[in-house]
Chain A
């Protein structure tokens, strides 16, 4: 696989920039093996930020992408979709966390910047070994099983059934209704439970 890595360093407003010199990180990334393009931006997750990734993948014919920003729990899917929109397999992408694991937890800007460089270098080395992965699909049996026929189970069964899907409602007692059938009147409206 060709090595044409693009590195995108996010400033996250001042969340990252305050403690990490992102320009310096981007410049450092440019000299890493395989990297042909690197840049910074204020909010990589914003629409213009995503467009920047999309366009760079096309214009620079990037084969791998590294985004250095927040936790992947936050925006991995956002960036994966941007990479895919540029025409690249979404798994030829790595996300590097320089916010939660760097700028937010360190105070020395020089040290934090050095750590960001380390993290970006790790991301670049990993992404060079990435292989395209394909999402597979599995069939879905459109029938639901509800275990328990109390008020919650009955409501779930009714809602699914009303939406047009068959439901099997299993209840261990000989009647549905559950605890609610033993209750006289119910708060706060004092209407009948059974």
Chain B
């Protein structure tokens, strides 16, 4: 992270979003919204006076998966890069009611800006890499058998990560969210939302088998005399040193039970899991202090809108579609737009890094030339035939067709006049031919596949 911030060739735009992209490979214009932070980061030194003194201290900390509180002016997490705070406008007393303003009074560099506004900036770039990542499935709304999220001691793997992290809300001590007690018996349920056609996703989220093996190991390692049980459908450890890692968890004493948990309900301060041990062929009831759900990865929020806006496709689950599953895994169908990491499909860290470097190489390959060749088999408009009906414009999947105004000399008693005709941007056109059937006056032709050529072919077969 620090290496990124320090690199002279990298310009960081955090708390920002891409809102508009126009142009084509080699020549994109992206509009980026720099969201209001209410802090001038050029002046801020990140000293921390503001968030220490902020009186709005009871806001759920999203970074800690709501298991701790934060202030309204806050840094995302202690090692944040850049290490500067922003004000959460919805929860700031000054911004909601006009009172307070303590941070402004105390800031030694006078960096607080309550009048800060969202700002739009345009940047010119030649290539784009999408690395929008994943979110976790909203299991509370679909998994009633696990309590719809109403049992505090049924948590997700990402919550467990925060509990076990030295920088987390419990400074690395595994504690139950309900009463803060150390759990002795921890149950892990894999494939919550993954490989579940009825309520979740049909795909495997790929990382869960491994991180659950890690979590089970961490329970055994951190809590003396503890028990870790993993309920699984399959154990998938395809990866270098992965199977060995899983064996290490088994050797540490993690118990694996093949079966899906059908129900969780509380009994006293314990949670009862109803399941089946499918290897023994017996139903079972299991008592646990803490239950950890390995929830499915899903495409990041708003990733679909981003794909639509830029103009590339997504697959049936909303993951960004690669141009070819084997031979073009980092390209999209939009030239100059590449994919990195789990926006393309569930991935663990080693695979994300490998794909990220692959995407970088594609960009560098493009940038190794000053100009690039464009395939000449593109659509062209015969403006003498074009009626300006505009039917072709929305049909083009690459937004390559626009309308332009031309001057006509007139005649037959009419003076000069202007009219609209279609224009094809040959850099954007991929030669797919989708526009041709839409053209009622046959003004559009695909070079290399003109009507004349195709008719000659058909004639030779039929006449």
**Chain A residues at the B interface, C-beta cutoff of 8 Å:** 91, 118, 121-126, 128-131, 133-190, 193-194
Contacts and interface: CB of A to CB of B under 8 A. Distances in A.
B453 A126 contact: yes
Given A129-B456, A153-B131, A182-B63, A188 B124 contact: no
A142 B340 CA distance: 19
A139 B133 contact: no
A141 B132 CA distance: 23
Shortest 3 CB-CB contacts between residues of A and residues of B: A152-B341, A159-B360, A153-B131
Given A125-B457, A138-B371, A156 B359 contact: yes
A158 B210 contact: no
A129 B453 contact: yes
Contacts of B357: 155-156, 159
Given A138-B372, A140-B371, A170-B16, A147 B306 contact: yes
Contacts of B15: 171-174
Interface string B159-170: 001101111100
21 contacts: A91-B377, A124-B460, A125-B460, A133-B447, A137-B372, A144-B126, A145-B30, A147-B131, A148-B340, A148-B343, A153-B356, A158-B3, A161-B7, A163-B364, A166-B9, A170-B18, A172-B15, A174-B80, A181-B77, A187-B211, A188-B244
Interface stretch (B264-272, B347-355, B399-407): B347-355
A166 B11 contact: yes
A187 B364 contact: no
B45 to A, nearest CB: 16
A140 B126 contact: yes
B355 A152 contact: yes
B461 A142 contact: no
B373 A135 contact: yes
A189 B30 CA distance: 39
B293 to A, nearest CB: 16
Nearest to A163: B364
Contacts of A160: 9, 129, 360, 363-364
Interface string B365-405: 01101111111110000000000000000000000000000
Nearest to B210: A187
B132 A144 contact: no
Contact of B341 (A128, A138, A151): A151
A26 B164 CA distance: 74
B126 A176 contact: no
B219 interface: no
A168 B126 contact: no
Contacts of B177: none
B277 to A, nearest CB: 26
Interface in B99-138: 123-134
A82 to B, nearest CB: 18
A172 B306 CA distance: 13
Given A157-B10, A174-B86, A168 B349 contact: no
B161 A171 contact: no
B130 A118 contact: no
Q: Kindly name the residue among B356, B364, B454, B458 whose own CB sees the greatest number of chain A CB atoms within 10 A.
A: B356
Contacts of B158: 179, 182-183
A118 B461 CA distance: 7
A171 B426 contact: no
Contacts of B214: 185-187, 190
- Which of A140, A180, A181 has the most CB atoms of chain B within a 10 A radius of its CB? A140
Contacts of A150: 131, 133, 341, 352
Contacts of A165: 9, 363-364, 367
A129 B343 contact: no
A131 B452 CA distance: 11
B13 A151 contact: no
Contacts of A130: 448, 453
A48 to B, nearest CB: 27
Nearest to A141: B126
B14 A140 contact: no
B70 interface: no
A181 B162 CA distance: 10
A64 to B, nearest CB: 12
Given A145-B127, A163-B367, A165-B363, 9 more contacts: A91-B377, A123-B457, A133-B448, A150-B133, A151-B349, A173-B76, A177-B81, A179-B158, A184-B172
B349 A188 contact: no
A57 B92 CA distance: 77
A160 B18 CA distance: 20
